[in-house]
Amino acid sequence: MIFDAQIVAHATAFVNALQAHKPAHIPAMRFEHWQQFFTTVRALMEGVA
């Protein structure tokens, strides 16, 4: 999967907000980008990335 830098940046900001116990939101994005977004979020939450 080719990762879009903007989607990775949104996912990173989302995970950072969650881990800092701050309000986090999922930005508006096309449905085709959801898999990439959540794959990145899962990797960051598990400490893989």
In the chain, what are the domain boundaries?
A: 5-46
Mean pLDDT of 3-26: 93
Distances (CA, A) of 48 to 8, 16, 17: 14, 15, 18
Global pTM reads 0.84
Three-class secondary structure of residue 17 per DSSP: helix
Inform me whether the pLDDT recorded for 25 exceeds 80: yes
- CA atoms of 49 and 31, how far apart (whole Å): 23
pLDDT digits (tens, 9 = 90+) for 26-43: 989 999 999 999 999 999
